Homo-oligomer: A and B are copies of this chain.
Amino acid sequence: MNSPATPSPIVLVPGNTLITATPEAGRHLAVKMARLIMKATQPDDAVRAKLRPAYADDPALLIAAGQTVAMEFATIAAANNYWK
């Protein structure tokens, strides 16, 4: 089991590219990248499973989680020249 202090072998950018076919796919990548950083910070699956209900039921955390996705998506959208 990894301790939080150990560099994580977790893949942080699935597919190793920011380029996606569509905005919808880009949005899904943003969600995944946001989750993978949390997984790298807290690699223990059992702890993360215990924390998940906390932020899915707390409006402040739900909003904060949404802001993370918005930030990741801004970068992905720019990478894809906004799919224009």
> What is A's interface to B at a CB cutoff of 8 Å?
4-5, 11-13, 16-19, 22-24, 26-28, 31, 33-34, 37-38, 40-42, 47, 49, 51-75, 77-79, 82-84
Q: Can you spell out 7 A-B residue pairs with CB atoms less than 8 angstroms apart?
A: A17-B83, A37-B65, A38-B63, A42-B62, A52-B59, A70-B75, A77-B79
Interface SS, A side: helix
B residues within 8 A CB of A19?
A: 82, 84
Would you call B68 and A66 a contact (CB within 8 A)? yes
Q: This chain: how many copies in the complex?
A: 6
- Check A55/B51 contact, CB under 8 A, given A24-B16, A73-B75: no
CA distance A4 to B50 in the complex (A): 12
